Chains A and B, each alone.
Chain A
Amino acid sequence: MLLIGASVCSLLKKKYAMILIAALILLIPVVSAQQDVSCYHCHTEVVTQFRNNIHYQGGFSCADCHGGVSESNATVISANAMSGNFIGKPSRDHITDICSKCHSQEASDYKQSIHWYAIQKGHPEAATCTDCHGVHEIRAIADNKSSSNHQNSPATCAKCHSNKELMSAWYYGIKADRIDTYKESFHWKALRNGYNVVATCSDCHNNHITKSHEDPSSSTYPDNLPKTCGKEGCHPGTRFDAKVAAGLVHDKESLHTGELVFNQSRLEPQMKAYFLGPFDLAYWIAIFFKILTTGVIGLFAAMVVLDFASRFKIHRRW
């Protein structure tokens, strides 16, 4: 640097050189930002997020979603940017329309989902494209920072599905413990430890065609469950007991921690015999092992403590 500076100074008069260098340094980010994304002047934060967007890397600009005129070489703020078919912030029921301009297959899948159904019924807080994929920071699915990445799928769904107020609204009435019960399954235990080829929310419920388990065409409808679980890459060729697939998968998964075994009151009467076996045997066996574990460790830990304590009184035990 010093050498270059010295040589430049020797060629030009010193102060002109200094002004030139300073002007260049100042201009580079301003000019490049303006050339790059026209809205940068005012929407700095949004454009910064947009730079991580897969669409930005693919050459899209603000106007492709928000409408209006994109003047990529504008050196001043232009009123033209908000002219023409400018949308601004699209309403939640119109977000799909924008995405469907290019992603028509995904949009038509989504429009069969229970999320879209809820939006149409006048509940705009139901999930739309941006809730799962991000608003300005839409990353590629394979990017592990993407909220729609396989690894992040449970956290993304939990944003809404663990929200008790939202889920308990009278028109939904969905249980808010879906993620908690998923976390008791082996799928989560493996996923949490970086083993990626296990099922997350979208693998069973589908990513775009998410339907209620009461809908006969849903992947989680009891009759369709053997097919869903037996998908290629999951458990193909496994003969599932018809009752295994009888729904309540999340509640069954909570058998892993014994919650359902111990909390008999949560069981539907007709499922009780199935879950607990004859004479509620599963319940009693589980209780037996809890008592055995705490009892034996409690007793013997107490013996160790007593043994240790007794040393202070009895100097020579032998």
Chain B
Amino acid sequence: MRKQSLIEVSYSKELKGDNTMGEVFFKRFTFNQLVQHWIMIGTFMALVVTGMPVKFPDAWWSPVIINMVGGFEMRTLIHHAAGISMVVLGIYHVTFHVFVDKESLLDRKVWPTLKDAKDFWQTVLFYFGKAENPKYGRYSWKEKFDYWGAFWGMVMLCVTGLIMMFPFIAMEYIPYAYVHLATIIHTDEALLATLFIFIVHWWNVHYSPEVFPMSKAWLTGNLSEEQMKHEHPLEYEEIMRQMRERSEKVPD
């Protein structure tokens, strides 16, 4: 996120016998971001497990899951606790990246650009063998969609979730029908998020042959030079350019 992070390159401690440089790692996520992602995984899974049995109450697995988590009251308790944790996480995330992170908001690499639309189309063509794989910068269009999808989803689920949690208080401010509408939005949006994570996100970071069984970036926060060259070539070039400039400025 920070400019500095672009040139935060660490070397593995084991130097090879011939005294050449060891394997190079590129900082992808800060420890702060990793912890946020871990909390997100925990709360999200808890919410899915305790929420889906109520979205599909007549399914055979619905009572099975409810019994497994300790009954319906416990289900509700877990769902509320995990939901509130996720909301707190979201508030922390926005506060941190807007107020604490020093980089100017407009310079962030995460904003969608016209290039992403072009990349999307080029990816489709690439899948049909009609074009090269698009060259991505720090974030590919898939990653940006992941991020903003989760962002939008959390806002929607938080608002509708609070309405469902306090329906009679909500009814003093909004029409009765909108309280029920909240359940439609909440469950549809949750189903969308669940399917998206299980199909699309897990394909990109777990099942895809490039990373199978998983991309270790979510544990270490690092990418190898090989991965960097192939998945984020533009960012790689940028880092290399900056490093060259730096070494020219400070000759040792």
Contacts and interface: CB of A to CB of B under 8 A. Distances in A.
Is the A/B pair a real complex?
yes
Interface of A: 183, 186, 188-190, 192-195, 235, 238-241, 243-244, 252, 255-258, 261, 274-277, 282, 285-286, 289-290, 292-293, 296-297, 300-301, 303-304, 306-307, 309-311, 313-314, 317-318
A194 B184 contact: no
Given A255-B181, A282-B181, A293-B189, A310 B126 contact: yes
A189 B99 CA distance: 43
Given A189-B54, A258-B184, A277-B178, A297 B127 contact: no
A194 B68 CA distance: 12
B57 A189 contact: yes
Q: Most chain-A Cβ atoms within 10 A of its Cβ — which of B129, B181, B195, B210?
A: B181
Interface residues of B, number: 44
Nearest to B230: A318
A275 B177 contact: yes
B200 A303 contact: yes
B251 interface: no
A239 B168 contact: yes
A307 B196 contact: no
A256 B181 CA distance: 7
A277 B203 contact: no
Given A183-B58, A244-B171, A304-B199, A296 B192 contact: yes
A80 B235 CA distance: 102
B7 interface: no
Contacts of A292: 188, 192
Contact of B57 (A188, A255, A314): A188
Contacts of B196: 296-297, 300
B58 A192 contact: yes
A276 B72 contact: no
Contact of A310 (B72, B128, B192): B128
B188 A293 contact: yes
